[in-house]
Amino acid sequence: MYTRSETAGPDAPAREAPVRLTRYAHGGGCACKIPPGELEEAVAGLVGAAPAARPAGELLVGLDTGDDAAAVRLPGPAGGPAVIATADFFTPVVDDPYHWGRIAAANALSDVYAMGGRPLVAVNLLGWPREKLPFELAREVLRGGLEVAGRAGCHVGGGHSVDDVEPKYGMAVTGIADPGRLLRNDAGRPGLPLSLTKPLGLGVLNNRHKATGEFFEHAVETMAALNRDASEAALAAGARCATDVTGFGLLGHLHKLARASGVSAVLDPAAVPYLDGAREAVRDGYVSGGTRRNLDWVAPHTDFGGADEHTRLLLADAQTSGGLLVAGEVPGAPVIGELVPAGEHTVVVR
């Protein structure tokens, strides 16, 4: 356990107490994202506002649909490969620095997998309150990131750090993909089933951990698991439409996918997998502000049917390093709904 010296009072002897990294951040993990409605308003009008002069390649995926990463096809006699570029970082989602590093790296790499790509090289992005937290902890964060990147076969080539008021960590990742087999969030078609490759509930369990210090190993290992196998399985099954489920929750990312594809999505909440303890965490009130903002954002676009409040909150739960949401069947992953022709709502829960 990593510790720091604390003094209980002016006359009390110094004692060692655990360092709770989550206490040094106002939010945790992908729940600290800027709310989706505010973000969309901020970037409105920027699409194509400043086109590149003499671009080095063809932009295949940019800002238009809010996809998981950018994709540029390199020039070549027969058309070159697609380069995937993304960056992702966040405040501590767990107290253990090594696990936080693992989770943040897996989350950053996920954007490449969500596009059907393979990560090649990453650089670290680190913000550190150097006068509050020892660099021994930062080293553990970086070690966790290196472990996961190594497992992904991805080089880590340095990075950038700043003195920050809150600890933050993540990666900028460059990958490669076949431009004819990209997984995009705008390629959904009516009649396709929807598969989800990781269970929901990460947000509420992380919020419970932040509030109580309870450790949920199954949640940590779920977040640290790579989406590589799911991506490869989706491509092998012929899928062309996918996104990963992170800070905007299942409902938010499904709404974006359906909207970009010009379809609606029918979701069966009984088929959605949840982590052990997730429903209890919602019942006990461990719901982040990010999750409630997600629900507020998607509510005008969603027909909730008879779904109760707890189910709605879980479906909107702000995930960190969640699974892939794939338009198509992925072996081993539950089918949680289907895409249908566009209707009044982009998402229908029934």
The catalytic site residues sit at 30
DSSP 194-214: EEESS-B-HHHHHHHHHHH--
Looking at the chain, list the stretches that DSSP marks H as alpha helix, in order from N- to C-terminal side: 36-43, 97-114, 135-151, 202-212, 217-224, 228-236, 249-261, 278-283, 289-298, 309-315
Q: CA 147, CA 121: separation in Å to the nearest integer?
A: 14
Q: CA 275, CA 319: separation in Å to the nearest integer?
A: 12
Q: CA 124, CA 85: separation in Å to the nearest integer?
A: 14
In sequence order, what are the beta bridge partners of 84? Answer: 71, 175
Q: Distance of CA 138 to CAs 95, 97, 106, Å?
A: 12, 7, 17
Those residues with Cβ within 8 angstroms of residue 260's Cβ, 6 or more apart along the chain or in another chain: 65, 66, 67, 185, 186, 188
Q: Distance of CA 263 to CAs 63, 158, 252, 343, 345, Å?
A: 20, 42, 15, 7, 9
Q: CA 321, CA 68: separation in Å to the nearest integer?
A: 12
Those residues with Cβ within 8 angstroms of residue 303's Cβ, 6 or more apart along the chain or in another chain: 344, 345, 347, 348, 349, 350
Q: Determine contact, residues 329/191, Cβ cutoff 8 Å.
A: no
Exposed/middle/buried for 51, CB within 10 Å: 0-12, 13-18, 19+? exposed
Q: Determine contact, residues 145/171, Cβ cutoff 8 Å.
A: yes
Helix, strand or coil for residue 280?
helix
CA angle 93, 23, 122 (to 5 degrees): 35
